[in-house]
């Protein structure tokens, strides 16, 4: 089975910060001859992928799998507000699968977590991606203060130096 490691319930994005300049999703859509699709934010046919079952009734995505979410979009994009609750319901239902969520829109994370999030879902890792010091200074305090069982940070595409030791000195 292909593409088991990512789940893209929606596709398309709006460029948000400096690190989006060479977004690979735009490049891939161009390579596939569908450049117009990159800026059009749409719900995909894969929306219910974690719930799909085979003929025997087993989940096609087995327990224990790690799924990277929205690798061709951003989970906290405004245009996806209409679909996010359903995404969370699927994630909650598949508590046996791990979901890796990566965003540049850190400031939208807290207000767009599910109502029963509490200290976080055990099967979800929230991650920010930072491309330079400005992005790090903006996004790291948000991630630090948000409740989550698992957190991570991705420093890419690294287009400028980042001094992570500045993190808590700035406050
Ligand atoms: S937020 Fe991510 S998916 Fe959206 S344009 Fe930027 S790099 Fe691409």
* pLDDT value of residue 108: 98
* pLDDT value of residue 36: 87
Q: How far is the CA of 63 from the centre of ligand 1 (A)?
A: 29
Q: How is residue 65 annotated by DSSP? A: -
Tell me how far apart the alpha carbons of residues 101 and 152 are, in angstroms, rounded to a whole number. Answer: 9
With a cut of 60, say whether residue 104 has pLDDT above it. yes
Q: Is 17 helix (H, G, I), strand (E, B) or coil?
A: coil
**% of the chain exceeding 90 in pLDDT:** 91
Q: Is 152 helix (H, G, I), strand (E, B) or coil?
A: strand
pTM: 0.94
Q: Residue range 123-150: average pLDDT? A: 97
CB atoms within 10 A of CB 125: 19
Give the chain's end-to-end CA distance (angstroms, integer): 48
- Whether residue 129 contacts residue 104, with contact meaning beta carbons closer than 8 Å, is answered with yes
With a cut of 80, say whether residue 171 has pLDDT above it. no
The reply to whether ligand 1 has any atom less than 6 angstroms from the CB of 21 is no
* pLDDT value of residue 170: 54
């Amino acid at each position: 089975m292909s593409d088991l490691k990512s789940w893209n319930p929606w596709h398309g994005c709006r460029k948000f910060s400096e690190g989006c300049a060479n977004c690979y999703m735009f490049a891939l859509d161009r390579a596939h001859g569908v450049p117009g699709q990159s800026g059009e934010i749409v719900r995909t046919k894969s929306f219910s992928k974690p719930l799909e079952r085979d003929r025997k009734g087993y989940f096609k995505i087995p327990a224990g799998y790690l799924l990277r979410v929205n690798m061709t979009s951003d989970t906290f994009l405004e245009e996806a507000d209409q679909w996010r609750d359903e995404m969370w319901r699927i994630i909650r239902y598949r508590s046996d699968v791990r979901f890796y969520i990566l965003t540049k829109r850190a400031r939208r994370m807290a207000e767009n977590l599910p109502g029963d999030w509490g200290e976080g879902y055990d099967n979800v890792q929230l991650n920010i991606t930072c491309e330079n010091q400005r992005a790090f200074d903006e996004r790291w305090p948000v991630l630090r203060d948000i409740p989550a069982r698992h957190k991570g940070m991705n420093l890419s595409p690294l287009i400028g130096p980042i001094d992570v030791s500045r993190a808590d000195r700035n406050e």
